[in-house]
Chain A
């Protein structure tokens, strides 16, 4: 049921999540102003390294983390964190976690793991059918043979399908998946990604897939958002962003992919990003290879180190944007 003029299903509007600092350390600005919108039936990939805030953003979007600023909007209205409203929200937006072995309660069999959601929401009539359907939609066939098994009796791929079935049992319209294939074997990875595509095609599901892997975005996503230190630094359709990246960080992520066209030997050096100490100006400038290539005394250097960049907008369907002072300016003069 994919009505085109619906507007975004799930939105982050100027979202901020700050964790208080411990033992005198400054607070960590894990998500530091993010606009993101997922339209119905869209698969949106959120790419970044560990510590960039992508997992916190995912948890804020499913309502597990309360934002310290901005808001999460579901079908146009702001998310309320009061018990009943939040519970109703959970039927619409579901989470799939990275490590399927840990995401399943070792003392629950497959049936109970999938029936958990419906039971919590009082959907007890026709529970058998609901579980059966969810398992089939998640590609576990025939479901009858699996319902009595326990997580440790399943393979990694099967475990992840059970987790997905558990989310599908609530008939959500959005699935937020945090590194859904990172802990799976290579040959199983493609099958789970196929499943996500298939769920979009068959059920019209919207998916936000969080990953460190650009290849995943290429495999399944319509649009990609690249995140660095709490902000989206580049956003747009997958083909454009990945084949013609504008932001030096996106470029660096692509360059380090094995088998990439060219290898840079000036790989990003410098301190790993730390959300408790966000650099002024462009937050990527201490590690930026493009800034390093600027000729000495270039006036743009002062922009990079001193002028904060605006927060990127959520981006329309075909629109792309990059938060970089150097975008649109040729980086190195042609010889």
Chain B
């Protein structure tokens, strides 16, 4: 069953008289219980996509396209309906748990709040659910009365996950959930997220700049560049056999230890990440940095071409491979 269908999503910010097209046409679908990772660097539009799913964008943003969540277009929902969808059916885990948690209220209160708000249950039931949730994310339920500053960074991120799970949503959006954390804590949180999502069949969209982190958690990966999908497909195939040169560069950015090719040879891309305000409409936005660009890449139309089972890639080289 399709949980989420995004069709031709475009988001334009108006800043100081000029339009910044942060997202320029993104399509993907997510089935119930499926996990999708969206990777990209700053200015790729990945966070804008995540925020537009919950309609959390600033008023200056103009959204077009369709965002069908369980068959209903989120973009046309009334405020009352939208509030019911937020948290209860679709919830979000932000990066930086310290600023996303209210410092003057205990974590137990903060987890209980959405439960009391969205489900007509009494205080005792909500309390029991809170304890259960804290246990499930690996924070002792005796800590329910603790305040955010009394917890470590990893524990705070766990509390954020418990909050996202509080109303048994069908979809969780995790925006850079582990960015500020240490490697070991990061691995613990990722493992927790993977387990929870798998057990409870919750759909997950995870946003990160780190392709390899997403590969650990998600079944499918989407790579964004300059507001469009550069490539989308099953994680393993995408990481081991990238079809878009940008995916290849991202996959190679964090080396595998023991891989002789990357020893004393860091790989990166020349040039700078695209400035969303200056991306040309015509041609491939990646062309200026592309190591395998063809002469007509700057001008010809680029679309997401099929690049294997369940895979799409927005690169002309895909066409050669398919035809040969």
* Chain A interface residues toward B at CB < 8 A: 49-50, 155-158, 185-194, 197, 212-215, 218-220, 238-239, 242-243, 252-261, 265, 267-268, 272
Find the residue from B186, B257, B265 having the highest chain A CB count within 10 A: B257
Contact B216 A258 (CB under 8 A): yes
A186-B188 contact in complex given A212-B182, A253-B183, C-beta closer than 8 Å: no
Contact A190 B252 (CB under 8 A): yes
Contact B273 A267 (CB under 8 A): no
Across the interface, which residues of A come within 8 angstroms of B154, CB to CB? 272
Across the interface, which residues of A come within 8 angstroms of B188, CB to CB? 267
Contact A258 B273 (CB under 8 A): no
CB distance from A251 to the nearest CB of B (A): 12
Across the interface, which residues of A come within 8 angstroms of B250, CB to CB? 186-187
Across the interface, which residues of A come within 8 angstroms of B146, CB to CB? none
Across the interface, which residues of A come within 8 angstroms of B185, CB to CB? 272
Contact B268 A267 (CB under 8 A): no
Would you call B292 an interface residue if the criterion is a C-beta within 8 Å of the partner chain's C-beta atoms? Answer: no
**CA–CA, A212 to B185, complex, Å?**
12
Would you call B219 an interface residue if the criterion is a C-beta within 8 Å of the partner chain's C-beta atoms? Answer: no
Contact A267 B184 (CB under 8 A): yes
Nearest 7 A-B pairs (CB), nearest first?
A: A190-B268, A256-B187, A193-B266, A185-B41, A258-B212, A155-B272, A191-B268
A254-B273 contact in complex given A186-B210, A187-B268, A212-B183, C-beta closer than 8 Å: no
Contact B42 A185 (CB under 8 A): yes
CB distance from B69 to the nearest CB of A (A): 29
| Of the residues B216, B239, B258, contact of A243 by C-beta under 8 Å | B258
Contact B184 A49 (CB under 8 A): yes
Contact A252 B252 (CB under 8 A): no
Interchain Cβ contacts under 8 Å between A and B, 28 examples: A49-B182, A49-B184, A157-B272, A186-B210, A187-B253, A187-B269, A188-B269, A189-B253, A189-B266, A191-B266, A215-B255, A218-B263, A219-B255, A219-B266, A238-B263, A239-B263, A243-B257, A256-B183, A256-B184, A256-B187, A258-B212, A258-B254, A259-B212, A261-B258, A265-B191, A267-B187, A267-B188, A267-B191
Across the interface, which residues of B come within 8 angstroms of A268, CB to CB? 184
Across the interface, which residues of B come within 8 angstroms of A267, CB to CB? 184, 187-188, 191
Would you call B18 an interface residue if the criterion is a C-beta within 8 Å of the partner chain's C-beta atoms? Answer: no
Contact B266 A194 (CB under 8 A): yes
**CA–CA, A255 to B268, complex, Å?**
24
**CA–CA, A158 to B211, complex, Å?**
23
| Of the residues A49, A185, A242, contact of B258 by C-beta under 8 Å | A242
Would you call B215 an interface residue if the criterion is a C-beta within 8 Å of the partner chain's C-beta atoms? Answer: yes
Contact B252 A188 (CB under 8 A): no
Across the interface, which residues of A come within 8 angstroms of B324, CB to CB? none
Across the interface, which residues of B come within 8 angstroms of A212, CB to CB? 182-183
A253-B213 contact in complex given A214-B257, A218-B255, A265-B191, C-beta closer than 8 Å: no
Contact A219 B270 (CB under 8 A): no
Across the interface, which residues of A come within 8 angstroms of B262, CB to CB? 218-219
Across the interface, which residues of B come within 8 angstroms of A190, CB to CB? 249, 252-253, 266-269
Find the residue from A212, A218, A261 having the highest chain B CB count within 10 A: A218
13 additional A-B residue pairs with CB within 8 Å, beyond A186-B253, A194-B268: A157-B272, A186-B209, A190-B267, A191-B266, A191-B269, A215-B256, A218-B257, A219-B266, A242-B258, A255-B187, A257-B256, A258-B216, A272-B154
Would you call B104 an interface residue if the criterion is a C-beta within 8 Å of the partner chain's C-beta atoms? Answer: no
Contact A272 B183 (CB under 8 A): no
Across the interface, which residues of B come within 8 angstroms of A197, CB to CB? 264, 266
Find the residue from B209, B254, B263 having the highest chain A CB count within 10 A: B254
Contact B41 A186 (CB under 8 A): yes
Would you call B142 an interface residue if the criterion is a C-beta within 8 Å of the partner chain's C-beta atoms? Answer: no
| Of the residues A189, A239, A254, contact of B268 by C-beta under 8 Å | A189
**CA–CA, A318 to B289, complex, Å?**
39
Across the interface, which residues of A come within 8 angstroms of B213, CB to CB? 258
A242-B41 contact in complex given A188-B272, A219-B262, A253-B184, C-beta closer than 8 Å: no
